[in-house]
Structure 1
Amino acid sequence: MIRFFSVALAVILSFSAPLASAEAGEASRAAAEQLAGMLRDYQSYQADFIQIVVNESGTQVQETHGRLMAKRPGLFYWETSKPLPQFIVSDGDTVEVYDPDLEQVTIHNLDDRVQTTPALLLSGEVANLNDSYEVYERGVGTRVQEFKLVPRAPDSLFVSLRLSFENGVLQEMRMQDSLGQLSILSFDDIVLNESIEQGAFDLDYPEGVDIIRDAG
């Protein structure tokens, strides 16, 4: 769904207590470098997913099933099958969204805000995470590691993002938007660093669909 691509969802976590400013800045920098190192190891990422959206009162309002593929640099593919089909691809400069039921394709430019959305952490540049986010890290047992990202920009598309890894493999994203809505994206059948042909990121749609270009 385009909503996950451009907005976010996350449970507020009980990470460590606030540190003094200088100490917190150094901790964020170290956590960002650690996370970036883990993500850079993902030259490609493929998985099935279930996305659950929960409103501010804790009620589940949506469940979506689909598949995603990401390949550095900049290539991203997202497909949902239930409840409504939708296809999203990015080449690092633009995003195309195809809604078969609407017979419509919308093409968006990847501006600076969208460049920092969670989905692009799997396909975009991650070298300067600390410039865009305050990053917090904690271990949960011996195999699970969690990172919480809080955007530094006041006009960010999400409020907070949590990434959960098990044995270095990304298993879940949780994001929260400014209205308190939470999205939980859980991955299954994960395949790392397997070769993906370039054509897998081409979006095919039938002739006659409406094509809308977002001037923004």
Structure 2
Amino acid sequence: MKHPSLSRRMALLVVAKVSGLMLVWAASAGAQADGLELLTQFMKQARSGKAQFTQVVTSPSRAGQVVRTKTSSGSFEFQRPGKFRFDYRKPYVQTLVADGQTLWLHDADLNQVTARPQSQVLGATPAALLTSASDLQALKKDFQFSPEPDRDGLQWVRATPQSPDGSIRAVMVGLRAAASGPELAVLDVQDSLGQRSLLTFSAFEINPVLPASTFLFKAPAGADVIRP
């Protein structure tokens, strides 16, 4: 098996850019909210979250080439403002941590760490929905939000960057209602190169108590630390 390539690391950064797209399910008596209303409520209510995830990255089809897919899985945690963590366990061990200032990517096989300022890497991306405080209105200068029709038992909303120059073309988010509250079910990301990253979440928890150590990252002994 070939060692993970640079394209795989770029796929992880795309996840970082979009990892913040969290929505909330809520319904008033006798009336059901659409995706955009749920997003507004989520920004106000969700302070933290955790889940298991499976990610399938599909490369765009080209003439004479077979469509390629890569599947990975692990756990995800976030806390407002400015913190999240992806722990990839299969097929390779990698860790992606945003601590509020720096975005860290650790490749265990290479024992290599890449560190980038969050403000430069995330910027005007859907990750702002995770790393910002609770003001959805302020995000509308960077994104166009629109509710989508219900399908597959989920409610959907589309987030489209206002600027056409970014790496993300569109993001579709699907949610399901649960007795304990809202659950993020699907995050479907399409980038400007035609690559699709489909994340499916399970065992989702809203507002768990997460220890501070969750979002602390220290480069392992002997690791090569790169700061582009």
TM-score (normalizing by structure 1): 0.79
Taking a change above 3 Å as real, the CA distance of residues 177 and 210 of structure 1, as seen in their structure-2 partners, is same
Alpha-carbon offset, residue 39 of structure 1: 3.3
Taking a change above 3 Å as real, the CA distance of residues 142 and 184 of structure 1, as seen in their structure-2 partners, is closer
2:187 alignment counterpart: 173
Distance 2:35 2:175 in 1: 14
Consecutive unaligned residues in structure 1, runs of 5 or more = 9-29
What SS does the corresponding residue of 1:89 show, helix, strand or coil? Answer: strand
1:5 pairs with 2, 11, 16, which one? 16
2:201 alignment counterpart: 187
**RCO higher in structure (CA 8 A, sep ≥6):** 1
Aligned residue-pair number:
193
**In terms of mean alpha carbon deviation, does 194-203 or 44-53 score higher?**
194-203
2:108 alignment counterpart: 100
Find out whether 1:63 has 2:77 as its counterpart.
Answer: no
Distance 1:94 1:183 in 2: 23
Aligned Cα RMSD in Å?
Answer: 2.5
Q: Deviations over 1:116-159 (max 9, x none)?
A: 33345234345222211111103417963110011002222200
1:151 pairs with 126, 146, 161, which one? 161
What SS does the corresponding residue of 2:141 show, helix, strand or coil? Answer: helix
Alpha-carbon offset, residue 92 of structure 1: 2.1
Taking a change above 3 Å as real, the CA distance of residues 187 and 4 of structure 1, as seen in their structure-2 partners, is same
Calculate percent identity across the aligned residue pairs. Answer: 28
What SS does the corresponding residue of 1:102 show, helix, strand or coil? Answer: coil
Taking a change above 3 Å as real, the CA distance of residues 184 and 75 of structure 1, as seen in their structure-2 partners, is same
Distance 1:113 1:87 in 2: 16
What SS does the corresponding residue of 2:75 show, helix, strand or coil? Answer: strand
Map 1:1-216 onto structure 2 (within 5 A).
1-6=12-17, 34-57=38-61, 59-111=67-119, 114-125=122-133, 127=135, 128-140=138-150, 144-167=154-177, 168-214=182-228
